[in-house]
Structure 1
Amino acid sequence: MKVKKLKLLSLIFVMLLVFLSACSGGSQGAKGTNGKKMVELTWMFWAGQGDRPQWEALAKKVTEKYPNIKVNMQVYDWNTYWTKLKTQIASGNTADIVGMQSAQLPVYAEKGIFEPLNSYIDTSKNLNYSDFNKAITDGMTYDGKTYALPYDYGAFTLLYNKELFKKYHVPLPDEKMTWEGFLDRAKKLTHREKKEYGFAFPDHIWDSTPWIWQMNGDWLKGNGDYKINSPETIKAFKFLSDLVNKYKVAPTAGELSAIGYDEQFSSGKIGMIIDGPWTIQGYKKYEKPGKLDIGVQVMPKAPTGRNVSFVAGSGLAVSAKSKHKKEAFKAISVITNSESLKYLAKNGRAYPARDSAVEAFNKYNKDIDNISAFHKQALNSKAYKTSPKYAEAEEIINQGLEPIFYGKENVKTALNKIQRKLDELNKE
């Protein structure tokens, strides 16, 4: 009898220990449906209210693929996001997965904020890394190391308003169009008394870069120094300056400060702009017969014969301080796989970073004339590369460009002034 009681007490004791262990283990002690220890990841990201359900759906796909991994999202609007990210980094409490924009990446990569992903990519069996557009994967690298898997990107490409072309009987842009042909069309579309212009662009280095590259110029050297006043770059800015100040086929910087180029294009007053595929959904809202009907074409060819452009985009990085780096990489591999990016493209959210998902975007936007030109341009584009000093350099350059497009200073003089300031920055 005593033996039976002892056995019963022992059994109760063991069951009690199991119960207490389960209660005190928390999320780390729990197990997924596959019996493995449950890992909860935080994913810090930017998104609008309309986008959030799509990203939440992809977070759930991670758990469907890996039942022991759960992704919890921390979502902010674009401007708040970057402030919150800096706060997290300063506190040493960065999320496991971090959203990152390609032009911003060098600032964080240089400081060791993110985990290099090269070894994870090399050993992954199902990633199919070569399916990503090569230019945007280059944009997700710094100093030879890859720090993020991209989910969207886009090449700066020519957008045009078919309604304005039809109104003035001007031939639509085609793949053979040169800078000269571009200027000729812009002249025919311009009717300043009606505040209609053939072209419009903001006086920023971002928007000027394709034209600079097409003339074989650049503003960022291989060693990370900035060089804005090369003969090739001067020629590119001379062409852009003449569009505003000589030929008057584009609104001045002063006019654009009152009403932005994108607003003027949306209102049917601009014939051509250059922009990325991420803007299409916004512009489509304003399409109206007799006002706006969007078409897409590759960039016009410079006198050099080149019509190269740049790509920029966004991706997902893994925090260097994450305790679950392997699981975080598995998660971002799911979120950026072909099926996930097709899902985003079908919902109009993003231009997919994988070539295999591009057709889903094209089908969603089949009402846009020549939508495939985005992909054609992307295949003839380079990554918009920056450096850790980019924010300071961009401010110097953009402020220095203003006198050119206000017609107050000639191109060479203005660029030489900018370069003197960049030389000081290069020394820091």
Structure 2
Amino acid sequence: MQDNRLSRRAFLRSVGLGATGLWLAACAAPTAAPGTESAEGGAAPGAAAITLDFFAWGDQTDIPAWEQLAQNYMEMHPNVTLNVSPTPGADYYAKLQTLFAGGTPPHVASFQGWEWQPYADRGLLAPLDEYVQDSGLTAPYPEGIRSLEVSTRRNGQIYLMPLQVATMVMFYVPALFEEAGVDLPTDDWTFEDFLAKAEAITDTSGDKKRYGYQANGIWPRDIHWIRGTGKQEFDELVDPHTAMFDQPEIIDVIQIVAQDVIYKMGVAPLPADTDTGANTIQTGNVAMKYEGAWFFTQLNSPALREEGKEIVFDVVMMPKQQDPERPHRGWSEGVAIPRTDLVGEAWGFVSYMGGEEGNKLYATITGRIPNNLDLIENFWIPTIAERFQVQNGKAFLEAIKRSEVDVIGGVSRTQMWNEVVKPDGWDRLNNNSATAAEVLPVVNAGVQALLDEYWANQ
């Protein structure tokens, strides 16, 4: 077999850490055929010892789950040794890309639903269709919800085993509403209601400052507000050709939610405060924040309640805007199997994590939403009510049914953010050095250049 190592620089360019360039071909090791593992997904009795490397998304929410899942699987399959390498989100993809570029990919790797596609396009990931079909593990792939379909499939093939369905809603702290004499938000509230409540709650005159809203500070966390206008940043959300950030409706809403709430209205703390952990929803100084289920453990977990450090919260759907369909951000997130000589063996562990037993464990420990609609409704919603005291869990389910992905394609969202959208756009909005009307045309031109370069090389 020929050497499958890419130059590090060439690989990093191709997956979005550098300028867009042509992907270089890589030779993949042979894929193990389905059927080499037992009915439970692990090696057959008496099989040789194997070692699997799992390069895992690693933050304080997920690490305990990875450790428990690996321990359980090794107890069930004594011939398997799992080396789990949790890596913080800020460094995760850079380190993963380096492993691929060096010809030493892991056997299993975590992926967000918009990040794995460039790897699959170059044949670096194993399709999972045959494994899914043979195992009957189809529940994580519901039909009719496009955001989940396009974040698990590429060119008609399955590459991602979801461990969670992800969406984001508005978290709120009832105690701060009550202190200010403001009615709690409900699932049928409007954007105007949101702004009015944020203004009414805000009081920065005393020693303990109270803010109505904690701004997001990044484009991915403002995508919901954009889509609520009925517009989107691209001609297509999957494999776009044209950037459309400079539409008036997008400029107007980004001006409000990314800058005015902080510097003009004063209902959100300064970025310097939130960056240092002061005046946040976690400290009890902010009444509302746009977040996902991964945030539960930072506010009101059993451990926090035991220490008396909990922030009691609940959630509602995001406010109604101009789009009557009321789209919410949504995607699947989980693990993929790089092409190595242990694909079949890796599937055993992957299918355990994505199956009902493993997925319930993962969701219970992390608070994250399970990977199929039945578990969400019948298991997860009651679980989060007990474990995290979330009363309106159905808001997540409704948000998923209405969800849209951010953007998926050969130019990843991460590349767009790192190379253009952050330095030319949101950094300047966050430091109040330019308005949305000034930065978004620049962002649009920069993203369009990335798209043009990518498509010119296809």
**What range describes the TM-score normalised by the shorter chain of this pair?**
0.7 to 0.9
After TM superposition, give the deviation of residue 131 of structure 1 in Å: 5.3
- The 5 A counterparts of 1:312-351 are 312-320=331-339, 322-348=340-366, 350-351=368-369
| 2:226 corresponding residue in structure 1 | 212
Aligned counterpart in structure 2 of residue 279 of structure 1, from 280, 291, 295: 295
Contact 1:95 1:319 in 2 (8 A): yes
| 1:228 corresponding residue in structure 2 | 245
Equivalent pairs counted in the alignment come to 395
Q: TM-score, normalised by structure 2?
A: 0.75
Unaligned runs of 5+ in 2: 1-35, 37-41, 454-458
The letter for the 2-side match of 1:277 is A
Q: Distance in 1 between matches of 2:65 and 2:438?
A: 49
Q: CA offsets per residue over residues 325-361 of structure 1, 9 Å max, x none?
A: 2333343122211121112223345321222332443
Aligned counterpart in structure 2 of residue 299 of structure 1, from 309, 318, 324: 318
Structure 1 residues 56 and 127: CA distance shift in structure 2, 3 A: farther
Structure 1 residues 127 and 69: CA distance shift in structure 2, 3 A: farther
After TM superposition, give the deviation of residue 315 of structure 1 in Å: 1.1
Aligned counterpart in structure 2 of residue 170 of structure 1, from 171, 175, 182: 182
Q: Distance in 2 between matches of 1:401 and 1:159?
A: 23
After TM superposition, give the deviation of residue 279 of structure 1 in Å: 0.7
Moved more, 245-254 or 174-183: 245-254
Q: CA offsets per residue over residues 162-214 of structure 1, 9 Å max, x none?
A: 11001111111101101111112112111132432211212211111001111
Structure 1 residues 164 and 76: CA distance shift in structure 2, 3 A: same
The answer to whether 1:105 aligns with 2:116 is: yes
Q: CA offsets per residue over residues 12-43 of structure 1, 9 Å max, x none?
A: xxxxxxxxxxxxxxxx9xx9663556655433
Q: CA offsets per residue over residues 398-418 of structure 1, 9 Å max, x none?
A: 231343454443322221122
After TM superposition, give the deviation of residue 309 of structure 1 in Å: 1.4
Q: CA offsets per residue over residues 248-287 of structure 1, 9 Å max, x none?
A: 3223445545546xx6111111111100100111122667
CA RMSD between the two structures: 3.3
Structure 1 residues 353 and 71: CA distance shift in structure 2, 3 A: farther
The answer to whether 1:370 aligns with 2:392 is: yes
Structure 1 residues 84 and 249: CA distance shift in structure 2, 3 A: closer
| 2:14 corresponding residue in structure 1 | none
Report percent identity of matched pairs: 20
- The 5 A counterparts of 1:175-254 are 175-194=187-206, 195-222=209-236, 223-225=239-241, 226-240=243-257, 241-253=259-271
SS of structure 1 residue aligned to 2:188: coil
SS of structure 1 residue aligned to 2:341: coil
The answer to whether 1:392 aligns with 2:392 is: no
| 1:11 corresponding residue in structure 2 | none
Q: CA offsets per residue over residues 70-96 of structure 1, 9 Å max, x none?
A: 252232332554444233212322222
After TM superposition, give the deviation of residue 306 of structure 1 in Å: 4.1
The letter for the 1-side match of 2:434 is E
SS of structure 1 residue aligned to 2:127: coil
Structure 1 residues 70 and 221: CA distance shift in structure 2, 3 A: farther
Moved more, 72-81 or 125-134: 125-134
- The 5 A counterparts of 1:116-135 are 116-130=127-141, 134=145, 135=147
SS of structure 1 residue aligned to 2:205: helix
Aligned counterpart in structure 1 of residue 83 of structure 2, from 48, 73, 76: 73
Contact 1:61 1:335 in 2 (8 A): no
Contact 1:97 1:316 in 2 (8 A): yes
SS of structure 1 residue aligned to 2:397: helix
Unaligned runs of 5+ in 1: 1-27
Q: Distance in 2 between matches of 1:72 and 1:406?
A: 44
Moved more, 406-415 or 181-190: 406-415
Structure 1 residues 129 and 406: CA distance shift in structure 2, 3 A: closer
Greater Cα radius of gyration, structure 1 or 2 = 1
Moved more, 210-219 or 394-403: 394-403
